[in-house]
Amino acid sequence: MEFITHSLFFGVLISLITYAVGAFIQKKTRITIFNPLLISIGATIGFLLLTHISFQTYYASARYMSYLLTPATICLAVSLYERLELLKDNWRAITFGIGAGVLTSLSTIFCLSMLFHLNHADYVTLLPKSITTAIGMGVSEELGGYVTLTVMSIIITGLVGNILAERIFKIAKISHPIARGVALGTSAHAVGTAKALELGETEGAMSGLSIAVAGLLTIIGASVFAPLLH
């Protein structure tokens, strides 16, 4: 056990194995709730508890995976480039769709923070919940929020979007690939984009675009919304 915990790639190995198990379970069962990321999180926590390995020990080696967040997000531009003509033909609908999603997210957080009497730090912690972790962490830190809680809220938001997306699309009768992609990328960032890629290449491309644009709009919007609650 000492050899494992002092290994440079112990955290990375555990993370990859648990995610692979989650992906296998979802592929075999086809049940949405069996999301690979959700299973990976639960299995990793369970493993650490059973083996009495501290989170600090795990993260000391698992942190190297975090370095891949930004380049992985940037790589989504490849699918967008392949659908560039689609973007040019529908830029108005895409722009207004992303803008509406960002405004809804920020407004909802503001209203709920008022309702539950959250303090300023808690409030700004949640403002970047719908954007990718690479951007959200910076926004939270700049506004004076709790970065670790921001990361948790971002993951939960992405998981909920990934799991419920198809059901919501059916209920709301949303079938257009551009609308689906924009909705997933704007509301559920990279985890939602994984679901968008499953739905189709157009959905994936639009979702990838939405991550970048929603991130930029949230940076601007969060700085406007942050002073509204003290």
Average pLDDT of the segment spanning 109-132: 93
Average pLDDT of the segment spanning 95-113: 94
Between 73 and 131, the higher pLDDT residue: 131
Q: Break the chain into its structural domains and give their ranges.
A: 2-68, 75-228
pLDDT band at 72; cut points 50, 70, 90: confident
Cβ-contact 206, 94 below 8 angstroms = yes
Average pLDDT of the segment spanning 182-194: 88
Q: What percent of the chain has pLDDT over 90?
A: 40
pLDDT of 79: 66
Average pLDDT of the segment spanning 193-210: 86
Model pLDDT for residues 14-48, shown as the tens digit of each residue:
999 999 998 899 888 877 778 888 889 899 999 99
pLDDT of 162: 87
Average pLDDT of the segment spanning 74-96: 78
DSSP character string of the chain: -HHHHT-TTHHHHHHHHHHHHHHHHHHHH--TT--HHHHHHHHHHHHHHHHT--HHHHHHHHGGGGGGHHHHHHTTHHHHHHTHHHHHHTHHHHHHHHHHHHHHHHHHHHHHHHHTT--HHHHHHHTTTTS-HHHHHHHHHHHT--HHHHHHHHHHHHHHHHHHHHHHHHHHT---HHHHHHHHHHHHHHHHHHHHHHH-HHHHHHHHHHHHHHHHHHHHHHHHHGGG--
Q: What is the residue type of 97?
A: G
Cβ-contact 189, 212 below 8 angstroms = no
Model pLDDT for residues 135-156, shown as the tens digit of each residue:
888 899 999 999 989 988 998 9
Q: Which residues of 131-152 are buried (b: 16+ CB within 10 A; e: fewer)?
A: bbbbbbbbbbeebebbeeebbe
Angle at CA of residue 38, ends 37 and 41, nearest 5°: 85
pLDDT band at 7; cut points 50, 70, 90: confident
* First and final C-alpha spacing in the chain: 48
The mean pLDDT of the chain is 87
pLDDT of 76: 67
pLDDT of 5: 65
Task: Give me the helix-helix angle, 177-199 and 201-225, nearest 10°.
Answer: 110
Q: What percent of the chain has pLDDT over 70?
A: 95
pLDDT of 91: 85
pLDDT band at 227; cut points 50, 70, 90: very high
